[in-house]
Chains A and B, each alone.
Chain A
């Protein structure tokens, strides 16, 4: 064997290997490493918007980092107190532009409670159906783009096929492709037709049929798993301390979902599971893989909710009585709802005798979710930083508002 050289297949080491290793170590000892600061973003494809992260690196490792936000600040809160209530709703769409319906839902609920407006039963069901359609669309986007971040282009294109069809659904009822302004104060803009509901059924079964396919492409993909296992761990304590919500917190093992535990709208009428992180899924509790897994599972649960809502939905009007020149009495309200990215909360203060809010405040879930990367990305590799930001699934429109 000796004259044929080392057998590499059996793991045999080439001659002189020990020497080489020793020399390499010697180089490592003498090599002076230097810290370097560079900007990731604001125009970086993996930052999902206009986020600038100043990263201090040592070789391939991140020593410290500081996200800089506010690049697309559009004064949503200032606008909220400068415009009448009903005119503020379209601006809510533009905060989290991938979950516009969910934003409208929470915003409208806050204003309705402020003014004591009742929403008809059918409108509540329609709101839940479109909000869950939106959640599926948002999660499809999140999952697909996460693959893209890690170098898997194919799942992204596959998922965009279903996403496009789902967006057509919302387009049909609202006239908008991404920003809908469909949920209005007191109800929804227009009723759902039978054709639309049939198309909804066809779409939900298509998504259900495709999910295993997507999971083969990404979730069960060995390369994907290697990239995401044990990367960017947010444990329970860190997540709660930083105010992380949504899939990020559930991946850390916190069994909490606003829709089930603090039900708003009519979510208490549906039977669905809340997936949360566990050690037997793969990876470790709260890593990038588990956040991805939660999103996949949530799509399945959203499909369940849509089916149940579809069955229970009564006939009736879709718009309640909203007084002209709506002026809610003085008071305040705090509503939170489960968005695809976490808990969106709306704090409205009315001083009374005015059609404008005294203070319109929104808590964007991405705002709190992204804040915690200063802590969790420390000591990780630069390549993993992309994996971490992608797995948090932030929308910068909502961070900057």
Chain B
């Protein structure tokens, strides 16, 4: 809001994420595991079993109306927890609720979206699908399965999308190794890999 001052004041909380958090905490108090409201990338982490309830709420609640699933990304954290964790980040945005004028990436260093996170053990890495909540999540889920190996449950056919169907493993896992060859074609990993 105010022009950047020299004294480091308490960073302002992101209003969109704050509203979403209030909605979630009112309806599923145990569901929210952790959250971060300030900084460049505010987020809310929910339990995997509450993910679908949280998504329905955020989509339909009058305060949030996050009607678009902008992006689903998988992040591999092999050293977290016991035996590693997979993080799935849902970036949700709303085309219904407009931000107030002047509220944008420059003013508050934030764009009006909400990042919803869920963390599951690396093996088996199962996350419930949100494809029936936002149809567009279909391809994003397939891509996340393809590259990171997050198994989305409760949806129809989870096929690879970018890589060939018989490709070994999920390349964006940190412990993925280049195969020696693919259908008889030798693969030379890049220098220093």
Contacts and interface: CB of A to CB of B under 8 A. Distances in A.
* Mutual binders A and B: yes
Interface of A: 69-70, 73, 75, 77-78, 81-82, 113, 240-244, 249, 254, 256, 258, 261-266, 268, 331-336, 343, 345, 347, 349, 358-359, 361, 363, 367-368, 371-372, 375, 400-401
A110 to B, nearest CB: 10
**Of listed A266, A335, A345, residue having the most chain B CB within 10 A:** A345
A358 B113 contact: no
Contact of B95 (A254, A334, A363, A367): A254
A372 B135 CA distance: 9
B172 A332 contact: no
B95 A264 contact: no
Given A262-B104, A333-B41, A361 B71 contact: yes
B105 A264 contact: yes
Interface string B88-119: 01010001001100101110010111010000
A73 B161 CA distance: 10
Interface of B: 39-41, 67-71, 73, 75-76, 89, 91, 95, 98-99, 102, 104-106, 109, 111-113, 115, 134-140, 143, 147, 160-164, 171-172, 190, 193
B163 A73 contact: yes
Contact of A77 (B40, B95, B140, B147): B147
A263 B105 contact: yes
A361 B147 CA distance: 11
Interface residue SS majority, chain A: mixed
A82 B193 contact: yes
B99 A262 contact: yes
Nearest to A78: B171
A240 B135 CA distance: 9
A363 B71 contact: yes
B141 to A, nearest CB: 11
B92 to A, nearest CB: 10
**Of listed A113, A241, A254, A375, residue having the most chain B CB within 10 A:** A241
A254 B67 CA distance: 13
B91 A263 contact: no
Contact of B105 (A244, A335, A372): A335
Given A243-B134, A368-B136, A371-B138, A75 B171 contact: yes
Contacts of B41: 331-334
A355 to B, nearest CB: 13
Contacts of A249: 95
Contact of B136 (A343, A358, A359, A371): A371
A242 B133 CA distance: 10
B150 to A, nearest CB: 13
B115 A334 contact: yes
Contact of A256 (B40, B95, B162): B95
Contacts of A70: 160-164
A367 B112 CA distance: 22
Contact of B75 (A258, A334, A359): A359
Given A70-B164, A243-B134, 10 more contacts: A69-B161, A69-B162, A78-B171, A242-B135, A243-B137, A262-B104, A264-B104, A343-B70, A371-B136, A371-B139
Contacts of A73: 162-163
B88 to A, nearest CB: 11
Nearest to B93: A336
6 contacts: A69-B162, A244-B136, A263-B104, A349-B75, A358-B75, A372-B136
A240 B171 contact: no
A69 to B, nearest CB: 6
Contacts of B73: 347, 359, 361
A241 B136 contact: yes
**Of listed A240, A254, A268, residue having the most chain B CB within 10 A:** A240
Contacts of A333: 40-41
**Of listed A244, A249, A361, residue having the most chain B CB within 10 A:** A361
B155 to A, nearest CB: 14
Cβ-closest 9 pairs across A and B: A243-B136, A70-B162, A263-B104, A242-B136, A363-B71, A264-B105, A361-B73, A262-B111, A73-B162
B95 A240 contact: yes
**Of listed B113, B115, B161, residue having the most chain A CB within 10 A:** B161
B172 A345 contact: no
Contacts of B162: 69-70, 73, 400-401
Nearest to B39: A331
A113 B147 CA distance: 26
B135 A241 contact: yes
Contacts of B190: 82
Contacts of A349: 75
B104 A268 contact: yes
